[in-house]
Amino acid sequence: MTGYGKRPRGIKELWRNNRFMKPSILPLSAAYDRNSFTCGVPQLDNYLKTIASQDIKRKTAVTFVALDGNGKTIQGYYTTNVTGLSREQIPDALVKKYKVPPTIALGAHLLGRLAVDVKFQGQGLGELLLMDALKRLHLISQHSAFFAVVVDPISPAARAFYEKFGFMDQPDSKRMFIPTATLDSLFN
């Protein structure tokens, strides 16, 4: 795991790496085939097939999808929405570093779901989706400040995936986060 606010080695290089063909990553639309998507985790499959459109309409989450060359088949997806962090949810080292006041909640973005269809797993698409999400959130941070990007790993493998990219444990929680300052070092 990397130190607080330090750039994890290799992320910038991964973002620029062209070792795989980059799919189009666009907001979810009714034109895309959600029914054939299967990632191996029923709750993630179900979310894309039955709930994502409702969340978009209610403005409670945004879903981005990676599309194959025909522009219809969803290879993977991720969701984002706004959340917050209390002082107690931030490691003491970061509270001191950023001088977080005791009574303030800090803004954050939740990367709520990230999934890749089984046909495309093991090809770097999960990493590409994560980089796309972090890049988009970094751009948002230039116009509307927030402290971190938060994730809810659903398995030990997911936790290891996020750790590899510099996410750290949130105190007294199963959640992980990466500070926005780290995004600045990645994408500036």
Q: What pLDDT is stored for residue 149 in this prediction? A: 97
The CATH code that applies to domain 11-20+76-187 is 3.40.630.30
Q: What pLDDT is stored for residue 106 in this prediction? A: 82
Task: Write down the pTM of the prediction.
Answer: 0.84
Distances, alpha carbon 66 to alpha carbons 32, 93, 123, 125, in Å? 10, 36, 13, 8
Q: Per-residue pLDDT averaged across 106-111, rounded?
A: 92
Report the mean per-residue pLDDT for the chain. Answer: 87
Scored b (16 or more CB within 10 A) or e, 60-72 reads ebbbbbbbbeeee
Largest CA distance in the chain: 52
Q: What pLDDT is stored for residue 13 in this prediction? A: 54
144: confidence class by pLDDT, cuts 50, 70, 90: very high
**Lookup: tokens for 63:** 């879903």
Q: Domain segments of the chain: what residues?
A: 11-20+76-187
**Lookup: tokens for 145:** 């400040």
Q: Per-residue pLDDT averaged across 28-32, rounded?
A: 94
Q: What pLDDT is stored for residue 39 in this prediction? A: 97
3: confidence class by pLDDT, cuts 50, 70, 90: very low
SS (H, E, C) 4-18: CCCCCCCHHHHHHCC
72: confidence class by pLDDT, cuts 50, 70, 90: confident
Q: Is 5 left (phi over 0), alpha (psi -120 to 50) or beta?
A: left
